[in-house]
Structure 1
Amino acid sequence: MGLINSGITIIDFDETYLAQTKLQHYPHERLDFRHLEHVNLFCEEETLQTLQMRLQKRRQKGITLIGSGNYHYVTYLLLKEISKPFTLVLFDNHPDLRTNQDHDEMLSCGSWVSYALSKIPLLQQVVIIGPTVALAQNSTHSRTVIFPFDGVHHYSLPLILSSIPTNHVYVSIDKDVLHKGEVQTNWDQGVMGIHTLTQMLKSILMSKQVEGVDICGELRLSPIESLQPTYQSIIQKNQKANLQLLQTCLTANETHTKGA
């Protein structure tokens, strides 16, 4: 069990990660998408095809850092690369199950899960963990299981694992699932703690064949803001969470490799 693919890719839409210097020390492949237009929140079909071609050429496919949650729809393109029946495990404060009534032809950060369910036949089930807005976006989709976090519900690791019907899994993490004491994002946030997140992530990595992991939920800052003490604190907090998630993935993979 563990990560099937290896390596780290950092996607650069808006230079979000440049200030996270410790993160940059990890060997990684960088994809520069700063020149692309019409990619914030929604992505037009022509640009989507460009993104897909660039992503397919990357060599490091184990862990992908996407940047702001505004670009979470990139996960849809990463899911299309999987060649076996699989389950998407999504940690997110938002189920991202909206339908685009006004933008039917465009993929968005709020509808990509619905998009994936309708367009990727190998996607058997979606398990969404952590949203506090589940009631507002309640899904009746037969292939969706939601575990809302509101400070009242508590879920055991065996219960979470029992909701995953396939051996192959893809894990997508939006850090807005975490409470504000852990990170700060540009979307409303949930109540989960980083320890809870890393424990669940570790359990999945140790129990399943994980095709890949992606992480988003960065706070986009201007160059001037990134130099201010208040925002420096936010950068360090967000970087700390990224490093904890990366280390969880890498440690679980090393354990799996040694065990094999």
Structure 2
Amino acid sequence: MGLMKKGMTILHFDDTYYEQQRLRKFPHEEIDFEKLQHVNLYCELDSLKILQKKLQKRNEKGITFIGSGNYHYVSFLFLKEITKPFTLVLFDNHPDLGTVAEQEQNLLSCGTWVSYALRELPLLQRVVIIGPTTAMPHQAFDSRVVIFPFDGSHHYSRKSILSAIHTETVYISIDKDVLNRSEAVTNWDQGIMNSETLLHDLAFILKNKQVEGMDVCGEEQISPVQAFLPDFQKVIRKNEEANINILETCLKAGAVQTRGA
């Protein structure tokens, strides 16, 4: 088991990752989308086609760092590449299912991409969402969606989470807004999960399932001018540390898999 595909890709929708020099020291490839228009929060069809065409050509398909949660919908394009029945495991403070009205608009956005994927991808068998602190009552939940909310009163064993995943093949998407603000700082409201829980859950899934790929988003949007200020430097270092911990958890799982082969 473990991460089936290797390598790391960093996407540049803005300047976020240029300040994360420790992360960029790991072997990786980079793809620049900074000049691409109509991609912030929502993605228009023409821009989506450009994104898909460029992403299909990437060599490193193991783990992708997307950037701000505003671009989380890019995960949909990675799910489209999977050729066997699979489960999406999403760590996120928001279910990203959208409201009923948003679902009816059939528009791909950072807040609706999960529902969009359920509608468009027949190989997607189930979505397991771990970590949201709120599930709005006006959201229409598909019967294929299982949610493990984190609101301070629920405690889940890792075996119970694993039992909700019925396929051998899994794709994992992580939005760091699932973490509390002492662990990461994002541009969205955040949950209460700690990094230890996230990393242990991640390692457990990597150990027990064939993970087709992974992505990570949830960067704070910081301008080049702000990046020089001490408070924002602390934010950058905190988010970079979270990214490296996630990456190293994947690399460690891959090393164990190689030794066991």
Q: How does the TM-score come out when normalised to structure 1?
A: 0.97
**Cα offset, 1:20, TM superposition:** 0.6
2:10 counterpart letter in structure 1: I
1:25 counterpart letter in structure 2: K
In structure 1, distance between residues paired with 2:65 and 2:246: 11
1:257 counterpart letter in structure 2: T
Name the counterpart of 2:34.
Answer: 34
Query: Residues 97 and 141 of structure 2 are in contact (CA less than 8 Å); yes or no, is this contact kept in structure 1?
Result: no
Whether 1:195 and 2:196 are equivalent positions in the alignment is yes
Deviates more, 1:74-83 or 1:97-106: 97-106
**Cα offset, 1:152, TM superposition:** 1.3
In structure 1, distance between residues paired with 2:233 and 2:211: 33
**Cα offset, 1:101, TM superposition:** 3.6
In structure 1, distance between residues paired with 2:99 and 2:84: 26
Deviations 1:28-56 (A, max 9, x none): 01000001000000000010011001000
**Cα offset, 1:125, TM superposition:** 0.1
Query: Residues 186 and 218 of structure 1 are in contact (CA less than 8 Å); yes or no, is this contact kept in structure 2?
Result: yes
Name the counterpart of 2:8.
Answer: 8
| Runs ≥4 residues deviating over 6 A | none
User: Where do 1:103-182 residues align within 5 Å?
Assistant: 104-136=105-137, 138-182=139-183
Query: Residues 99 and 139 of structure 2 are in contact (CA less than 8 Å); yes or no, is this contact kept in structure 1?
Result: no
Q: 1:6 to 1:37 in 2, by over 3 A?
A: same
Name the counterpart of 2:205.
Answer: 204
In structure 1, distance between residues paired with 2:109 and 2:100: 8
Q: In structure 2, the residue corresponding to 1:73 is in which secondary structure?
A: helix
User: Where do 1:55-70 residues align within 5 Å?
Assistant: 55-70=55-70
Q: How does the TM-score come out when normalised to structure 2?
A: 0.97
Q: 1:137 to 1:256 in 2, by over 3 A?
A: farther
2:26 counterpart letter in structure 1: Y
User: Where do 1:48-59 residues align within 5 Å?
Assistant: 48-59=48-59
In structure 2, distance between residues paired with 1:55 and 1:135: 33
Query: Residues 130 and 147 of structure 2 are in contact (CA less than 8 Å); yes or no, is this contact kept in structure 1?
Result: yes
Coordinate RMSD, CA, aligned: 1.2
2:242 counterpart letter in structure 1: A
Query: Residues 170 and 212 of structure 1 are in contact (CA less than 8 Å); yes or no, is this contact kept in structure 2?
Result: yes
Query: Residues 95 and 137 of structure 1 are in contact (CA less than 8 Å); yes or no, is this contact kept in structure 2?
Result: no
Deviations 1:45-73 (A, max 9, x none): 01001100100000000000000000000
Query: Residues 45 and 106 of structure 1 are in contact (CA less than 8 Å); yes or no, is this contact kept in structure 2?
Result: no
**Cα offset, 1:15, TM superposition:** 1.4
1:37 counterpart letter in structure 2: Q
In structure 2, distance between residues paired with 1:98 and 1:26: 35
Name the counterpart of 2:233.
Answer: 232
Deviations 1:185-206 (A, max 9, x none): 0000000000000000000000
2:89 counterpart letter in structure 1: V
What stretches of structure 2 of length at least 5 have no aligned partner?
A: none
Deviations 1:106-126 (A, max 9, x none): 310000000000000000000
2:232 counterpart letter in structure 1: Y
Query: Residues 13 and 67 of structure 2 are in contact (CA less than 8 Å); yes or no, is this contact kept in structure 1?
Result: yes
Q: In structure 1, the residue corresponding to 2:218 is in which secondary structure?
A: strand
Query: Residues 15 and 224 of structure 2 are in contact (CA less than 8 Å); yes or no, is this contact kept in structure 1?
Result: no
In structure 2, distance between residues paired with 1:142 and 1:170: 19
**Cα offset, 1:225, TM superposition:** 0.5
In structure 1, distance between residues paired with 2:7 and 2:139: 35
Deviations 1:155-185 (A, max 9, x none): 0010000000000000000000000010100
